[in-house]
Structure 1
Amino acid sequence: MKKTIAIAVVLAATLSESFSQQWKPAGEKILTSWGEKLDATRPHPEYPRPQLVRKNNWQNLNGLWKYAITAKDQKEIPNTWEGNILVPFAVESALSGVGKEVGKDKALWYNNEISLDLKVDKNNAILHFGAVDWQCDLYVNGKLVGRHEGGFNPFSFDVTSFLKKGKKQNIALRVWDPTSDGPQPRGKQINNPHGIWYTPVTGIWQTVWIESVPRTYIVTTRHTPDVDAKALHFEAQVEGAQQGDQIVVEAYDGTAKIAEANTSIGSALKLAVPQAKLWSPDSPKLYDLNIKVLRKGKVVDEAKSYFAMRKITMKPDEMGIQRMYLNDKFVFHYGPLDQGWWPDGLHTAPSDEALKFDIIKTKEMGFNMIRKHIKVEPANWYRYCDSIGILVWQDMPSGDLGGNVWDMQPGKISGGLHDKVRSPESEAIYRKEWKAIMDVLHNYPSIVVWVPFNEAWGQFKTKEITEWTMKQDPSRIVNSASGGNFAYTGHMLDIHNYPDAAMPDPQIFGKDYILTLGEFGGLGLPVDGHTWQQKDNWGYQSFKSKEELKKRYEEVVANLAKLIPLGLSAGVYTQTTDVEVETNGLMTYDRKVIKISESDLKNIHQKLYDAKIGK
């Protein structure tokens, strides 16, 4: 036995040394502590789909793949490769081990010969990508499977018919991403990073995985809590269903079954939850779901999920000013603008622990909300917001910038609407991806606000897009245009003001809209040894010490608190962390320094939640 253990230890050490020779972080930028200790043999090994869990027959494909950068018009899989890239980190990132930019005139190719360890047999093999930026063509064993466009939403291909006999299978992926030279949603990426615009992200940046599923299987679910009706509305998309198949849904509180309902495939059902504990940041109660497909009484597919009972509504307070109510109680929403960027992984957190860290620290700092700023996170990020208890405002990643007029003055709304005229192709890309994002995020109870546009960046047909968003998901609040360029539609009027707190005039707008301050603050403090670059870093207002920063932060929060009784319902402070040359984070970019302690921040923020509204 001891000899066997010794051999295993030696083998593990040899494999680790082999990987270290094939991979190391690229460049000389700062790293997070998670990036410094990254195990390149197991990057992001976690199960990646918490809202539809089948853990019995899946395989994580993250790790070292081959890569090549070719001319854009090359359509054939390359014969030679430039080296290894660590998936799921974008090619420009340090943790990819490459650190190269690609651009609109080139294509990025991936290749991986996998050993398929799944039991496929009579099942279907589904290949999943968490996110690939932006356009990609998938090849399996040299044959083209299909194309996907969209840099922020997960997608999958049924590759069953492309597999060959035996375990060895070859996967190739061609990626094209024009970044800021194209009309597609891209968020904060730009070809020439500067100021508030960051390094491009090209290619795979979330987990790649494959699963074996029955020929009849659950593809997606959609569940919406109805607190007033004491029920959960449930729908499921099932592939390969046969006449007479049934869907059965069971709800559990721990190990105790609290509800069960069934219906025919393709029909919606209502699951009674009569004595539910309601979800909130103070009590983030989650219930488990078990979903089965039955055929003549036999289970042909089964998956796990979860839900929460909560509602977010708009209604006037005693003074007639519109407010946001969570479970029929006014809750002031206060949180940081969260960019979700990392110095070593760019869009990709170096580990799941790191991904969770930002949310934990946000909660410890006394925030009850996060505005996820023009980026979509991996599914587990939302799962952690659900379980930790953080309200989420979800932005649509912006794209096709330029040509808009940002029409906003602090404290009042000026002028008129200036919508951009986008090409039919550009409009179609936006609509397709926004729908895909809303669909895939629908089940996460922490998300309470959708934000289609920010600061007129690519903003078009505002009224139409906002009303479509409201119709697509009437269970949430819609903030049509964060920061200005208002079409007087949706539920909110949201201004941005730096550095001090401000709000729209409640006498003019308070009767019709929830009044919010979607961005303010931006107080900067560069910390030596923890910045993206040595000099020319900036904040909206910069300081030289933690003491100066804390004193000024207390002032802006105190001024924010004074606006709540007047009609303000939410505030968003810029921002969670430093990002590249921006040093206005509450934490440094590498997350190694917290500039104001968690306990001090929590004490400072309490006055916001203690503020009274109404007469």
Structure 2
Amino acid sequence: MKLKSLVGLLFSSTSLFAQYKIAGDKITTPWADKVDETKPLNVYPRPQLERENWQNLNGLWDYAITPIDTKPSQYEGKILVPYAVESALSGVGRRVGKDSTLWYKTQVDLTAKNHEVILHFGAVDWKTEVFVNGKKVGEHEGGYDPFSFNITPFLNKGSKQEIVLSVWDPTDKGPQPNGKQVSNPHGIWYTPVTGIWQTVWIEQVPKSHIVSTKHTPDLDQSALVFSSLVAEAQDGDLLKVEILEGGKSVQELSFAPNTEQRIKLQNPKIWSPSHPFLYDLKVSLVRKGKVIDQVKSYFAMRKISMKADAKGIQRLMLNNEFLFQYGPLDQGWWPDGLYTAPTDEALKFDIVKTKEMGFNMIRKHIKVEPARWYYYCDTEGILVWQDMPSGDLGGNAWDMRLGNISGKNLEKKRTEASENIFKREWTAIMSTLHNFPSIVVWVPFNEAWGQFKTKEMTELTKRLDPSRLVNSASGGNFFNTGDILDIHHYPDPQMPDPQFFGMDQVLVLGEFGGLGLPIEGHTWQDKNNWGYQSFKNKEDLKKRYAEFVGQLKNLIPLGLSAAVYTQTTDVEVETNGLMTYDRKLTKMEGLKELHQILYNK
């Protein structure tokens, strides 16, 4: 290479990196400085359907913010994908709002090589239109479910391809699920998240390829119910499924694609928090003895159910044994990435720390995480209660009085469009997350936030996945539906009265605690931070928390099956986390030993 060309290349690269720096002046996590702006989160994003041939498109893209439905005449600068435009790690740190459109543009080096090219988005909040080389490929509504497009027909003959996205997100000014995001952050409501917030990537697949697999364990029958969706399958094609244990093949069978099979296992190893054993899967599409397509996956043998104890009180059962489930309310927010963990190491950190603290469960609170988060729950052995992100709030009542179990006149009357948005995204979320064995409970509603047609939504949830339990309304308006009755009580632990509520639902404490301790230098803002009950030092905080654990222990023999402590980390002005928002400090030590009294039989 000539010296002049080399200097030009170096100058161009230096200029590119000079355009990126962390935005704003808020606290950051230890991983912020480890973010690689050339290819952030450069790990395969879909561990339940993994291929070798993929291309990560994360990195610096062009961006612009325009009046709604207006194309940009020029782009304003660089944004680091996949961090939301409001976040510090995006390098932008700007609000968008309902009256504006966020635009992205990037150039990709790509040649199809006789394959179909699939463009994947882990999550984009909220309404997305995708253009390739100036032509519209498609659109998607939903901030929490992955989507993809076959862009093969839109590719140029050369290797240079242009991808453009337009995104509109009304945050809390529209009917869509938005979780804790609001236009005016305060209290328990946080900064908006607009646009791309999970990995963007491309994979090349043959015309006939495996689109998805579905695994449902049947522990009582020592069987795995397996099905798949295969695109462009031909007569005579076979789907070969190989089960591996520690890298060694233990079972192999072949059958027609797009059929459901019950695969019997001999003496299956059981997954639990104390022994999170995973079987590996190798799934191949075979045509005339030749492998056309192949993916890697995994599954676990475990069962979640409910059963009455000797007193007739329903209990949560894991693998046909009662296990008290205890974990933190985990909101999955980051001071530097908002919805997006800075790195894959950071994503795993919260789960590992939760397990180290002696919890066996996490309630994932009105947010859906990237697939790798659930993968780490699977590998570490953490049970997950998965909330549906709430939205379209207001216009209904919330009555927490024990005894008001009819829910009469308390539900929100949502528009048909709002109901359909909820149903469509909840269905997509459940389908996307079905294969992760760590998930044991679905939670459609939280505290009457947008709660509507509770019985219908509970029945929909049960119909979509009969293999898991449904907590219809965590702390919400109570109906005689679903498997779980869940109250919220701050700060001290309480439980529903089994004599009053009857014996047909599991009794749990879906939120309690919220003990606050702001630590200087580790808060979102310098003052006006809060918790449900605030303390000035770690010693008093630990003493009060230990009292709560003792109270929980006394409630278990009375019928309590699970409890959720608020919360994993501080979040913005909330300082009631077990860890600070920047994850640099843990506020209480010795929790694992303290929690053992909850699990001793």
TM-score surpassing 0.5?
yes
Secondary structure of 2:455 counterpart? helix
Distance (whole Å) between structure 1 residues aligned to residue 314 and residue 82 of structure 2 = 44
Distance across 1 between alignment mates of 2:160 and 2:244: 40
The answer to whether 1:603 aligns with 2:597 is: no
Gap runs ≥5 in structure 2? none
d(CA) in 2 for partners of 1:381 and 1:16?
Answer: 33
Aligned in 2, Cα 1:520/1:13: closer, same or farther, shift over 3 Å?
farther
| Structure 2 equivalent of residue 270 of structure 1 | 262
Q: Which residue of 2 aligns with 1:79?
A: 73
Match of 1:101 in 2: 95
Does residue 380 (structure 1) correspond to residue 372 (structure 2)? The answer is yes
Match of 2:122 in 1: 130
Taking the aligned partners of 2:372 and 2:77, their CA distance within structure 1 comes to 30
Percent identity of paired positions between Structure 1 and Structure 2: 65
Deviations 1:260-314 (A, max 9, x none): 2222122111111121110000000000001111122221111110000000011
Query: 1:416 maps to which residue?
Result: 407
8 Å contact kept, 1:262–1:269:
no
SS at match of 1:494: strand
The within-5 A match list for 1:8-23 is: 17-23=14-20
| SS of residue paired to 1:564 | helix
Find the residue that maps to 1:547 and give its secondary structure. Answer: helix
Is contact 1:133-1:205 (8 Å) kept?
yes
Match of 2:25 in 1: 28
Q: Which residue of 2 aligns with 1:142?
A: 134
What is the one-letter code of the residue matched to 1:416? G
Q: Which residue of 1 aligns with 2:250?
A: 258
Amino acid at match of 2:354: T
Q: Deviations over 1:53-83 (max 9, x none)?
A: 101x210000000000011122x4x331000
Residue aligning to 2:239? 247
Of 501-510 and 570-579, more deviation after overlay is shown by 501-510
Residues 544-572 of structure 1: CA deviation (Å, up to 9, x unaligned)? 00111000100111111110000000000
Q: Distance in 1 between matches of 2:8 and 2:428?
A: 44
The answer to whether residue 540 in structure 2 is matched with residue 548 in structure 1 is yes
Identify which range, 319-328 or 295-304, moves more after superposition. Answer: 295-304
Is 1:346 matched with 2:338? yes
Structure 1: how far apart are the matches of 2:482 and 2:230? 33
- Deviation larger for 582-591 or 265-274: 265-274
Q: Whole-Å Cα distance in 2 between the matches of residues 19 and 572 of structure 1? A: 46
- Are 1:407 and 1:414, in contact at CA under 8 Å, matched by a contact in 2? no
Taking a change above 3 Å as real, the CA distance of residues 256 and 387 of structure 1, as seen in their structure-2 partners, is: same
Identify the match of residue 190 of structure 1 among 171, 176, 182.
182
Mapped pair 1:62 → 2:58:
yes
TM score, norm. by length of structure 2:
0.97
C-alpha distance in structure 2 between counterparts of 1:461 and 1:141, whole Å:
44
**In the alignment, what sits opposite 2:83?**
89
**1:110 to 1:322, Cα distance in 2 relative to 1, 3 A:** same
Report the Cα distance in structure 2 between the residues aligned to 1:17 and 1:227, rounded to whole angstroms: 56
Q: Quick check: 1:510–1:567 contact (8 Å CA) kept in 2?
A: no
- Determine the structure 2 residue equivalent to 1:224: 216
Matching residue of 2:106: 112
**2:406–2:478 CA contact under 8 A, matched in 1:** no
Structure 1, residues 76-121: CA drift from partner, whole Å, max 9, x if none? 4x331000000000000000000000000100000001112x6x22
Aligned residue number for residue 456 of structure 1: 448
- Give the distance between the partners of 1:282 and 1:413, measured in 2 at CA: 38
> How far apart, in 2, do the equivalents of 1:591 and 1:377 lie?
18
Q: SS where residue 366 of structure 1 aligns?
A: coil
TM-superposed CA distance for 1:603, in Å, is 1.4
Asked if residue 569 in structure 1 is aligned to residue 565 in structure 2, the reply is no
Cα 1:376/1:228, change in 2 over 3 Å? same
2 CA distance for matches of 1:459 and 1:218?
37
- The counterpart of 1:443, out of the listed 435, 443, 447, is 435
Residue in structure 1 matched with residue 476 of structure 2 by the alignment: 484
Contact 1:67 1:82 in 2 (8 A): yes
The one of 347, 360, 367 equivalent to 1:368 is 360
1:528/1:232 CA distance change after superposition, 3 Å:
same
Written as runs of structure 1 = structure 2, the 5 A alignment for 1:139-538 is: 139-409=131-401, 413=404, 416-417=407-408, 418-538=410-530
Residue 470 of structure 1, CA deviation = 0.7
Q: 1:415 to 1:288 in 2, by over 3 A?
A: closer
SS of residue paired to 1:309? coil
| Matched-pair contact (CA < 8 Å) for 1:259–1:272 | no
Q: Which residue is equivalent to 2:576?
A: 584
Shift, 1:416, TM fit? 3.2
Change (3 A) 1:343 1:12: farther
Q: Is contact 2:67–2:100 with CA below 8 Å preserved after alignment?
A: yes
Kept after mapping to 1: 8 A contact 2:316/2:322: yes
AA of the residue aligned to 1:577: T
Counterpart residue identity of residue 288, structure 2: K
| CA 63–292 in structure 1, closer or farther in 2 if over 3 Å, else same | same
Displacement, 1:20?
3.8
Kindly indicate whether the alpha-carbon contact (under 8 Å) linking 1:261 and 1:270 is maintained by their aligned counterparts in 2. Answer: no
Q: 1:149 to 1:221 in 2, by over 3 A?
A: same
User: Is the Cα contact below 8 Å between 2:34 and 2:343 reproduced in 1?
Assistant: no
Q: How far, CA to CA, are the matches of 1:13 and 1:556 in structure 2?
A: 60
| Amino acid of the structure 2 residue aligned with 1:216 | S
Question: 1: distance between equivalents of 2:423 and 2:187?
Answer: 28
Question: 1:412 Cα deviation (Å)?
Answer: 5.2
Contact 2:445/2:476 (8 A) holds in 1: no
Matched residues, number: 598
1:14 Cα deviation from its structure 2 partner: 6.9
How far did 1:508 drift? 2.4
Question: What amino acid is the match of 2:73?
Answer: N
Q: Contact (CA 8 Å) 2:118, 2:152: kept in 1 or not?
A: yes
- The 10-residue stretch of structure 1 (195-204 or 16-25) with the greater mean CA deviation from structure 2: 16-25
Contact 2:40 2:343 in 1 (8 A): yes
* Per-residue CA distance 1:176-210 (angstroms, 9 max, x = gap): 00000000001000000000000000000000000
8 Å contact kept, 2:39–2:56? no
Which whole-Å CA distance do the structure 2 matches of 1:17 and 1:540 have between them? 48
Measured at CA, do residues 324 and 21 of structure 1 come closer, stay the same or move farther in structure 2, by a change above 3 Å? same
8 Å CA contact 1:408, 1:414 repeated in 2: no
In structure 2, the residue corresponding to 1:109 is in which secondary structure? strand
Secondary structure, in 3 states, of the residue corresponding to 1:565? helix
Output the CA distance in 2 between the equivalents of 1:11 and 1:285: 53
Q: CA 1:432 to 1:16, structure 2 compared with 1: closer, same or farther past 3 Å?
A: same
CA drift at 1:407: 1.4
